[in-house]
């Protein structure tokens, strides 16, 4: 049985469960057969001043309730999984119930998704019902990383602005979702030089977006930026084919302090957007892509 690493645990659970049920039955039986001798008398226990315990027989309704509970438990454990690795005579399990529900939902929604899949993403985004579906998909699958407002966080890009690592055209957004993306910047400390050079480079990066920086030190790093230009471009405007961010726009994936920039240069960065193509299927990815696109574009019905 796959759920148990060793057969021992299977028996451990089954035996303890059966013994517990039998013990409950015995407890009831033992109390029923013990005849009270003579008239009702107190057992000598007192609570709250005048609340006393008598040796009255158990009420019939209570005994029957107990018996029904025991029988229910036994029948349940025969029919459903619960006793060790016994699968239950009904063959029920959570996984197949889940699959059946998914299948039912798919059958119901498939025509709707098919309709949207045949439309362009901007057209889908113009449909309020489609946007609502996309938002639900987003909240269920994407919000844990990008935030429920899609504004992201450190290392997780904001999807509501017009700054894109991998491109903001409908097809590029859809590709990010279906195939996932891997942003890799290697550690660059060795290529830049001494720690002082790295620090100067951070000042140069700050200067690219017009942020506060030390001009004299930034100038010293300007030529060295050639080693960065391969990915970020000579002007620092980035390269969407590589997911290399635009360094001139004051929008930071990791943060715009000299310290964070030096950290990026020294250690590099590795970041991954998991691919959702297999999990969502193309039609749902299409609808969620339309939702994401609508966050930074005004949907229009014009094709």
Task: Enumerate binding residues for ligand HEC (CB under 6 A).
Answer: 138, 141-142, 144-146, 155-157, 159, 164-166, 173, 176-177, 181, 183-186, 188, 192, 201, 205, 227-228, 230-232, 242-245, 247, 252-254, 261, 264-265, 269, 271-274, 276, 288, 292
Q: Which is nearer to ligand HEC, 121 or 201 (CB)?
A: 201
Minimum CB distance to ligand HEC, residue 72 (Å): 43
Q: Which residues contact 296 (CB under 8 A, 6 or more apart)?
A: 159, 160, 161, 162, 168
Minimum CB distance to ligand HEC, residue 224 (Å): 7
Q: Which is nearer to ligand HEC, 83 or 198 (CB)?
A: 198
Minimum CB distance to ligand HEC, residue 116 (Å): 15
Minimum CB distance to ligand HEC, residue 165 (Å): 4
Nearest position to ligand HEC, beta carbon: 183
Minimum CB distance to ligand HEC, residue 177 (Å): 5
Q: Which is nearer to ligand HEC, 126 or 261 (CB)?
A: 261
Cα–Cα distance measured from residue 217 to residue 291, given in angstroms and rounded to the nearest whole number: 44
Q: Which is nearer to ligand HEC, 123 or 174 (CB)?
A: 174
Cα–Cα distance measured from residue 147 to residue 138, given in angstroms and rounded to the nearest whole number: 9
Q: Which is nearer to ligand HEC, 25 or 155 (CB)?
A: 155
Q: Which is nearer to ligand HEC, 14 or 231 (CB)?
A: 231
* Cβ atoms 267, 187 nearer than 8 A: yes
Cα–Cα distance measured from residue 284 to residue 195, given in angstroms and rounded to the nearest whole number: 48
Minimum CB distance to ligand HEC, residue 270 (Å): 7
Q: Is 203 exposed, middle or buried (0-12, 13-18, 19+ CB in 10 A)?
A: buried
* Cβ atoms 227, 244 nearer than 8 A: no
Minimum CB distance to ligand HEC, residue 1 (Å): 33
Minimum CB distance to ligand HEC, residue 106 (Å): 17
Q: Which residues contact 107 (CB under 8 A, 6 or more apart)?
A: none
Q: Which is nearer to ligand HEC, 69 or 272 (CB)?
A: 272
Handedness of CA 287, 288, 291, 292 (dihedral sign): negative
Question: What's the number of CA atoms in the CB half-sphere (13 Å) around residue 249?
Answer: 14
* Cβ atoms 161, 251 nearer than 8 A: yes
How far is the CA of 269 from the CAs of 126, 255, 260, 288, in angstroms?
37, 13, 11, 27
* Cβ atoms 208, 225 nearer than 8 A: no
Q: Which is nearer to ligand HEC, 77 or 221 (CB)?
A: 221
């Amino acid at each position: 049985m796959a759920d148990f690493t060793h057969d021992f645990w299977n028996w451990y659970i089954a035996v303890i469960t059966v013994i517990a049920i039998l013990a409950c039955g015995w407890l009831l039986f033992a109390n029923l057969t013990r005849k009270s001798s003579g008239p009702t008398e107190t057992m000598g226990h007192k609570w709250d001043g005048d609340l006393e315990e008598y040796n009255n027989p158990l009420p019939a309704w209570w005994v029957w309730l107990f018996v029904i509970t025991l029988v229910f438990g036994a029948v349940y454990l025969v029919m459903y999984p619960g006793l060790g690795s016994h699968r239950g005579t009904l063959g029920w399990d959570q996984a197949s119930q889940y699959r059946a529900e998914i299948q039912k939902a798919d059958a119901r929604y498939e025509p709707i998704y098919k309709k949207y899949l045949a439309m362009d993403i901007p057209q889908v985004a113009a449909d309020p019902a489609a946007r609502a579906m996309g938002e639900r998909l987003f909240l269920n699958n994407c919000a844990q990383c990008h935030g429920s407002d899609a504004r992201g966080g450190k290392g997780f890009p904001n999807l509501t602005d017009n700054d894109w690592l991998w491109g903001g055209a409908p097809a590029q957004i859809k590709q990010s979702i279906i195939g996932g993306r891997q942003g890799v910047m290697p550690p660059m400390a060795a290529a830049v030089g001494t720690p002082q050079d790295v620090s100067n480079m951070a000042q140069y990066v700050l200067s690219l977006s017009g942020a506060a920086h030390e001009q004299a030190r930034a100038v010293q790093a300007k030529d060295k930026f050639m080693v960065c230009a391969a990915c970020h471009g000579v002007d620092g405007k980035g390269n969407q084919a590589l997911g290399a961010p635009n360094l001139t726009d004051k929008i930071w994936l990791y943060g715009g302090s000299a310290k964070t920039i030096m950290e990026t240069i020294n250690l590099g960065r590795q970041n991954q957007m998991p691919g959702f193509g297999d999990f969502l299927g193309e039609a749902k990815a299409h609808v969620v892509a339309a939702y994401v696109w609508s966050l930074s574009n005004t949907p229009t019905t014009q094709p």
